[in-house]
Amino acid sequence: MGQGTATVVESTGPGRRTGAGAVETVGVALLLGFAGYAALFVAPNEFTMGLIQRIFYFHVPSAWTGFVAFTITLVASIAYLRGRNPKWDWLAVSAAEIGVAFLSVVLITGPIWAKPVWGIWWTWDARLTSTFVLWVLYVSYALLRTLVDEPERRAVVSAVFGIFAAVDIPLVYFSIWLFRTQHPQPVMGAGGSLDPRMRNVLLLCWAALLGVMLLLLRQRYRLEALRYEVEELRMEAARRGDSA
């Protein structure tokens, strides 16, 4: 963002500061570096899979972070419909797009792991398929937003779609799980057999990725706020042009 545009925004709008705060950014970068170090050097080597297993420290937390993002979309969508404050809409779209980004990481790191371990890039297994369906669902959400021009209409229809999509997530997972499963079973919680050191590194990586998500969310939210402001100004200009 150039200096010139920043000063124009300074005077009026909601997106006053366009750069993320330096302290938080450095903090998250350090955390991420530390998490990466821990994933590569601190966590013990997995017995059967070897080094490739370490991708798991970013694959699994990315999925969890994506779910957190979609939950934010759901909550923000409901809040928007209840109160009609455009800020909730900005939050909903920001979280949805960031969720898609994290799910893309999941869908890319998954096959990288699967090729050496399973011998195939992709299989139509329950969790893979569900995650893929979920990714398509939120890509359609983003697409829907580009196809509705009027800001308030766009906010309303995408909020309703956002709620439908979020409600669909457990159904997608349950139905495809019922259909078939060969994915490694969940490693956390009941029945998990994860080494405590592995678990700690995993949680550390998740914390780092949540930090990345929050930074991205703030950045994307400000972008949406600026877009809204530009749209408002355009309409205002058009109104003045008409009356003149």
Partner 1 sequence: MALLRPTAILLGKELRSEFRTRELLTTTLVFVLTVLVLFSFTFDPTTAESRRFGPGLLWLALLFAGSLMLHPSFAREQANDTLAALRMAPIEPVSILASKILANLCFLLVAELFLLPVFAALYNLRLAPILGRLFLVLLLGTLALSTVGTVFSAISSQARMRELLLPLLLLPLLTPALIASTEATRGLLEDPPALSAPWTGLLAGFNIIFLTVTWLFGEYLLEE
- Least separation in angstroms between residue 232's CB and partner 1 is 20
Residue 181 touches partner 1, criterion: CB under 8 A: no
Residue 143 touches partner 1, criterion: CB under 8 A: yes
Region binding partner 1 by CB under 8 A among candidate stretches 24-32, 39-47, 85-93, 169-177: 169-177
- Least separation in angstroms between residue 175's CB and partner 1 is 4
Please identify which residue in 3, 22, 120, 149 interacts with partner 1, judged by CB under 8 A.
149
Residue 153 touches partner 1, criterion: CB under 8 A: yes
Do the beta carbons of residue 42 and residue 31 sit within 8 Å?
Answer: no
Do the beta carbons of residue 214 and residue 31 sit within 8 Å?
Answer: no
Report CA dihedral (55, 179, 142, 149) to the nearest 10 degrees.
180
Q: Among residues 40 and 171, whose Cβ is nearest to partner 1?
A: 171
CA 189 to chain centre: 23
Do the beta carbons of residue 87 and residue 222 sit within 8 Å?
Answer: no
Region binding partner 1 by CB under 8 A among candidate stretches 13-21, 103-111, 157-165, 190-198: 157-165
Residue 75 touches partner 1, criterion: CB under 8 A: no
How far is 203 from 212, CA to CA, in rounded Å? Answer: 14
- Least separation in angstroms between residue 33's CB and partner 1 is 37
Among 159, 110, 165, 160, CA closest to 138 = 165
- Least separation in angstroms between residue 26's CB and partner 1 is 39
Q: Among residues 1 and 167, whose Cβ is nearest to partner 1?
A: 167
The token pair that represents 102 in the structure block: 């994290």
Whole-angstrom CA distances from 159 to 3, 131, 140, 166, 192 are 34, 21, 13, 11, 37
Do the beta carbons of residue 61 and residue 54 sit within 8 Å?
Answer: no
Residue 100 touches partner 1, criterion: CB under 8 A: no
Residue 195 touches partner 1, criterion: CB under 8 A: no
DSSP state of 19: S
Region binding partner 1 by CB under 8 A among candidate stretches 4-12, 19-27, 54-62, 161-169: 161-169
- Least separation in angstroms between residue 167's CB and partner 1 is 6
Residue 140 touches partner 1, criterion: CB under 8 A: yes
Place of tokens 């949540």: 210
How far is 145 from 167, CA to CA, in rounded Å? Answer: 19
- Least separation in angstroms between residue 150's CB and partner 1 is 8
- 46 three-class SS: strand
Q: Which residues contact partner 1 by CB under 8 A?
A: 81, 133, 136-137, 140, 143-144, 147-149, 153, 156-157, 159-161, 163-165, 167-168, 171-172, 174-176, 178-179
